Amino acid sequence: MKKGLLFAAAGVMALAACQEKNGYTINGTIADAKDGDYVYMRYYDGRESFTLDSAVVKNGKFEFKGMPDSVFAPKYITYGSGANSMVSMVFVEEGNINVDFANNKATGTPANDAFTAYNEKYTLFDRQLGDIQRIYSTDTTLTDVQRDSLVEAYDKIMSECMDFVYNQAETNIDNVVGAYLLQTNGFSFEVEQTSALLEKLPQKFMASSSMARLKEYIDNAMNTVVGKKFVDFSMDTPEGKTVKLSDFVSKNKYTLIDFWASWCGPCRQEMPNVVAAYKQFKAKGFGIVGVSLDKDADKWKQAIKDLNITWPQMSDLKAWQCEGAQLYGVRSIPATVLVDQEGNIIARDLRGDEISEKLGELLK
């Protein structure tokens, strides 16, 4: 063999060895599975599902082999359908990955081991929260004091849980686990927190449509955080007259922009607090503008009457596509934004007694 061909052959062998080394192998066992059954590897982008690969079960076992792709999102190994379906989330990366369908976990590589450790602790928080919810909803002997105590305990655990999730996302922000935790929890973190993580996130993780939606939401929300100027927009009143948000902000010392909807149970429960604050501080220069995320004009108008709402209302009747809600990064309702007469945002998401307490400080 010529010397040049020898080196060429050696190079091909080295490349093949490198490719084999850098690939992944996913192994799993399925109890009671029949030979010839299929196991699928799937990927989800938003609501769209893509089947990437399949494997045939033999002697209760299956195996996937390949090279990791550039898409950071986890894949889902699935077997069966309906009530008998089994799913395990997997981060496809170099190395040998073991799938445990019974516990819905994957181990054997850095990202999968890290996520499994995270998930085990997260599950403990989830169980505690579930236990409190179960007691609260089923124990008819609870006193008001005991119910308040349960709510307080729930809020405390939830806060600790979200701090844990955020810390894990921040710790892993340079890898696929952090990217996944940010994508799935970024809407639940404080806007400033998510913005800080997005700034640290490597660009390669920004390709998915889900991450793009998160960034768009954060960009909008960061424009309306406390300390920023309010963003003006126009919508119609229940009578069909087009009005601007600025029409009301300029007339009041303080204006509460209240995002709500007739179909929203928590909004209806919160409305008596808003009504009470309006009655108490209206004479001192406090105003409210309701921005409805309704789609049905008649139901919107009826709710205004039923809930004793006497302040101005506006809506584009686009439900969750409400342009005003999108401008203010509203992802859940009720949501409030408190603005002073100069248009400065001074508080967000005041609920319950917080509204009256804040106005009491401002309108002494």
> Which residue ranges make up each domain of the chain?
3-106, 111-222, 234-362
Which pLDDT belongs to residue 84? 78
Q: Hey, what are 72's tokens?
A: 């950071």
Residues of the chain with pLDDT under 70: 1-21, 46
Burial 268-307 (b: 16+ CB within 10 A, else e): bebbebbbebbeebeeeebbbbbbbbbbeeeebbebbeeb
Q: How many Å apart are CA 131 and CA 135, to the nearest integer?
A: 6
Domains 3-106 and 234-362 share a fold: no
Q: Give the number of residues written for the chain.
A: 364
Task: Name the residue with tokens 């069966």.
Answer: 80
- Under 8 Å between Cβ of 91 and 111: yes
Q: Packing angle between helix 144-171 and helix 110-138, nearest 10 degrees? A: 170
Residue 21 pLDDT:
56
- Global confidence as pTM: 0.74
Which tokens belong to 49? 């599902």
Please name the residues in contact with 205: beta carbons below 8 A apart, sequence gap of 6 or more. Answer: 72, 176, 179, 211
CATH superfamily assigned to domain 234-362: Glutaredoxin (3.40.30.10)
**pLDDT score, position 364:** 81
Nearest-CA neighbor of 188 among 208, 206, 207, 161?
161
Residue 10 has a pLDDT of: 42
Are 90 and 79 within 8 A, CB to CB? no
Q: Which CATH architecture has domain 3-106?
A: Sandwich (2.60)
Instruction: Give me the DSSP letters along 290-333.
Output: EEE--S-HHHHHHHHHHTT--S-EEB-S-GGG-HHHHHTT--SS
User: Around 145, how many Cα atoms within 13 Å sit in the side-chain half-sphere?
Assistant: 0
DSSP 59: T
